[in-house]
Chains A and B, each alone.
Chain A
């Protein structure tokens, strides 16, 4: 049981990292959105598995929150936004796919080196979990940096937050309040960013954040 539970948790967390990589090379918004839904689904599974392993029923609640909000509500809403804005055909990356993937691999290696060294004495399950979680966070950040479209930056932010949830559930004894508040903060961030998207769109006829820079009179 011990070996199996570790392997499954490892597999789920590893697939989360894998899906993060998949996000990195999606240059169509719909595809990106679908991948994000998959990301959130795997997160929900991983959290549920942690709940089972740690025998912590409140984590099931976290898993349900992740499933409902992140895998269903937010992707659907973003989908509608994209349709409304009419930007589903936009292709937008700053850094090419190849370099982005290479950078991502470097980041994963870095987070492994750091986490495995720092948490030498910790429970191996939590250790691997934390290393993967840090990778997911860094990959999310990398995505925010390499994308130009506001919607994909939002998705990068959401997947970054998934990494945080993964880290929080991997560590034993994280109170439910923290998770709920994190979940809510993401929801609110989503709403705010959604509103901003529309406002930006209304004013500039695009959600390319370069428009904002041009508006400020910056030269590129």
Chain B
């Protein structure tokens, strides 16, 4: 029954799209559409939550007479779908609330409003789909609506390019998924998930499906080396849509991967996990290295999405490894870690994109080198952005730490794995994960420090104003959720129990009953974590330190000029920049990964020209994987161009030859 209500919600969202076309240009249109989207997504989220908590082996199924006539459209909410519906609609509700304020400043709302509710509806449909046809249609609908949102600000050439690259990659990914489903359905064309679940694909076929799904869902999630579109497209959209794309749509892609690999594909082979783990580890490190080289705030956040997808894939890969070796408890731990990170990342990435949107709105700048000192102008935004930065850097007591800690706990179980390949690979992946976590912290010190601290580098940043109440409400809500999920993780882990139970057959031990609200993933003797105690300790020590400083020391507040190292220069451009912050890391990793070169240009003595330091970076993945493909396609089109200029008779001959050839194949085929 729940799925029917959920479909009503989706229908309501779809109905909002034409209304938005009608209201597009009116001044109150955005308020109406975003308000309605907020209400509907909240309702959908509630339905999903109810479904997740009342789960008792039963699932909610409905079949509609749409789509393929012999198949119909099947929709289903089970525990996995319910969890991802919560993620989708929580992100959707937060984005709608944020957009109630942010959308007022949109200069062409008629390009955003109609696609926004349709995009939300599409993401809900993907998660609920229960046959390959509905899944792929919803998936493609999601791609197209988000593409329309990416090119909403089409006046900028780079946005159009981003849209083009995105469209290509999305089609490529859907093609891979289409082939994967084709293989899964087999020759009788049974596209309903129930039928696919009943027939397990054999070894070679299952491996092929795994690779195709890794490519298809991975290209949407942003797995290296299929990530190229993501840092282009996510920042190009309006900020609340960027938050949805980064925070939610990549999770829908993860859902597609989990649904197919864990649910539909049958029991895993042990080497599958090697592939997934390797991809996850490389994605995590490459994502954060790319992010460090960026000084566009939104693009930096988009690259961090790549990193976090890598972390999620590491969790999923571990779960596959443990599942293949029949270690269900460890598999449940790893899967919980991955899924919890899905939830956590959707929260703090939305929060950070909202913050970036608020900054963009207040200053018109995305480049961090043009910002600075915003903590004085936008104190509340700065505070929530800081919370988001701490959460994504995986520092206790916030939520990012919990899921990464759980992932490490699962990694520490790897010596029990029987296969030597995994015994060696998993610690290496653990090292990559640790490296990416450390680099992520460095990156967010840079992002927060350069954007909000110091002095304003441009007049735009100096004249920034605090953002509006609705946007702040959305950000504070997400920040509070980051804190709650960080200090009371046990409840969130327990909520995931039905999901892990349905996918690996067992769930993690019940956490809510542990004393002092700790979490104990395996055994008390091994490891436990108590976010609440850490939080209380931080609050107490912080309060005490503040008390000690302000009461026991002098309470006279005096503001003076910042220490200028003895060079009294009023120009804020002399401050530490984002590039200078990243320089040590660029020198260590960038020279090999990006072939980074620093070119110093010193003018001749006596010349009044300024000295210049130029940094050149090359994207080797683009050069190695994308440029040859583009060149190949260009070459082929050049060669095939003459086909456009044949005579009528030659065209007829071509058709004729093709027909005869096909008949010959049919005749010779055994």
Contacts and interface: CB of A to CB of B under 8 A. Distances in A.
A113 B666 CA distance: 9
A58 B622 CA distance: 65
A56 interface: no
A118 interface: yes
Max chain A C-beta neighbours (<10 A), residue from B648, B664, B667: B667
Contacts of A110: 660, 663-664, 667
Given A141-B656, A145-B653, A111 B663 contact: yes
A218 interface: yes
Contacts of A213: 647-648
B649 A148 contact: yes
A145 B649 contact: yes
Contact of A107 (B645, B647, B660, B666): B660
Given A107-B660, A141-B656, A142-B656, A113 B645 contact: no
B435 interface: no
B375 to A, nearest CB: 68
Given A110-B667, A114-B667, A118-B666, A94 B659 contact: no
A114 B647 contact: no
B652 interface: yes
Contacts of A32: none
A117 interface: yes
Nearest to A147: B649
Contacts of A142: 656
Contacts of A111: 663
B666 to A, nearest CB: 5
Given A141-B659, A144-B652, A209 B647 contact: yes
A138 interface: yes
A145 B652 contact: yes
Contacts of B659: 138, 141
A61 to B, nearest CB: 30
Given A107-B660, A141-B659, A145-B653, A209 B648 contact: yes
Contacts of B655: 141
A212 B648 contact: yes
A217 to B, nearest CB: 9
Interface residues of chain A: helix, strand, loop or mixed (majority):
helix
A83 B666 CA distance: 44
Contacts of B645: 216, 218
Nearest to A148: B649
B647 A145 contact: no
A30 B445 CA distance: 89
Contact of A209 (B649, B664, B666, B667): B649
A114 B660 contact: no
Nearest to A117: B667
Contact of A114 (B648, B652, B663): B663
B283 to A, nearest CB: 49
Contacts of B656: 141-142, 144-145
Contacts of B652: 141, 144-145
B667 A113 contact: yes
Interface in B23-64: none
Interface in B623-670: 645, 647-649, 652-653, 655-656, 659-660, 663-664, 666-667
Contacts of B664: 110
Nearest to A112: B667
Contacts of B666: 114, 117-118
Q: Which of A118, A138, A145, A213 has the most CB of B within 10 A?
A: A145
A85 B666 CA distance: 43
Contacts of B649: 94, 145, 148, 209
Contacts of A145: 649, 652-653, 656
Nearest to B647: A213
A68 B632 CA distance: 56
B306 to A, nearest CB: 50
Contacts of A114: 663, 666-667
Nearest to B666: A114
Interface in A121-144: 138, 141-142, 144
Interface in A21-80: none
A110 B660 CA distance: 8
Contacts of A209: 647-649
A218 B663 contact: no
A7 to B, nearest CB: 27
Contacts of B663: 110-111, 114
A158 to B, nearest CB: 15
A69 to B, nearest CB: 24
Contacts of A118: 666
A110 B661 CA distance: 10
B661 to A, nearest CB: 10
A209 B128 CA distance: 57
A218 B667 contact: no
Interface in A90-119: 94, 107, 110-111, 113-114, 117-118
A218 B649 CA distance: 13
Nearest to B669: A117
Nearest to B653: A145
Nearest to B655: A141
B663 to A, nearest CB: 5
B670 to A, nearest CB: 11
Nearest to A214: B647
Contacts of A141: 652, 655-656, 659
A126 to B, nearest CB: 18
A40 B26 CA distance: 66
A138 B660 contact: yes
23 contacts: A94-B649, A107-B660, A110-B663, A110-B664, A110-B667, A113-B667, A114-B663, A117-B666, A118-B666, A138-B659, A141-B656, A141-B659, A142-B656, A145-B652, A145-B653, A148-B649, A210-B647, A212-B648, A213-B647, A213-B648, A216-B645, A218-B645, A218-B647
Given A210-B647, A216-B645, 4 more contacts: A110-B667, A114-B667, A141-B652, A148-B649
Give the 3 A-B CB pairs with smallest separation, nearest first.
Answer: A213-B647, A113-B667, A114-B667
